[in-house]
Amino acid sequence: MAALQKTVVVVCGAAGRMGSLITELALRDGGFDIKAGIEIAGHPLAGKKSPAGVEITDNADAVITGTEVVMDFSAPEAAVKYLDICLSKKAPFVTGTTGLNPEQYFLIKKAAGTIPVFYAPNMSMGVNLFFEIVKSAAVLLKEYEVEISEIHHRFKKDAPSGTAKKIADIICAASGRDPGKVVRYGREGITGARASGEIGMHSLRMGDVVGEHYVYFGGEGEVVELSHRCYNRASFALGALKAAKFIRNKPAGLYNMEDLIKELANL
């Protein structure tokens, strides 16, 4: 029986929290060949091996040849630079880098006309299945009142979380509402009766919580609560590795976790 072909990857942002975790889990998986890790020029690990034994370089152009999947968990400016190299080498590109501005996201969409690009700010399989469950609930419970709450660690800079915003967008799309008009961020004072169609959004910051999201559908005499809790970043890294396997032989196009889940469901 022929051995399964390994997925060859280059990890950008290899010394960061996500890059290091992806490297560790890829080595443990056995289905990956990590060609190299990439970091910014001047990084202390550039030219050395990571604690996991992977060569780290700051010369992305020399390492990326088009025969590997490039996995990026760096910063928006760096991600665009790596994307440009992937375009020139025709290499598949997977990115979970967050904080992209509209212009940077446009470049990702444009690149997808030439190479396969997988973009997902949250690559947890669980949370993306959670999105599908929320979508189904929103269709079936259109007349119910909706509240969304999320909890993250005290160091998180933005509120609400991007995941909570996506949940609101999913519910609005499923129920024919405009998120710009119906989402209400917290309540204070004499607010009066709850407006019809309103979606409450609430953010909590405490301790070292990685991420928790809750959606409540309230009807006459009942409340339906849906939740997803993330206890560490391994779920994001494992999802990213699935994305790398998924995209390695795909034609040019922009792919996301929904595409991955649909393919896995059809296996």
Tokens of 147: 């509240």
Cβ contact 72:104 at 8 Å: no
Closest of 135, 124, 113, 80 to residue 260, by C-alpha:
124
Q: Is 6 a catalytic residue?
A: no
**Environment class of 191 (CB within 10 Å of its CB; exposed 0-12, middle 13-18, buried 19+):** exposed
Q: How many CB atoms lie within 10 A of CB 33?
A: 13
Catalytic: which of 142, 156, 165, 166? Answer: 156
Catalytic: which of 35, 152, 228, 242? Answer: 152
Q: Is 152 a catalytic residue?
A: yes
Distance CA 16, CA 20 (A): 6
Distance CA 29, CA 49 (A): 20
Catalytic residue ranges: 152, 156
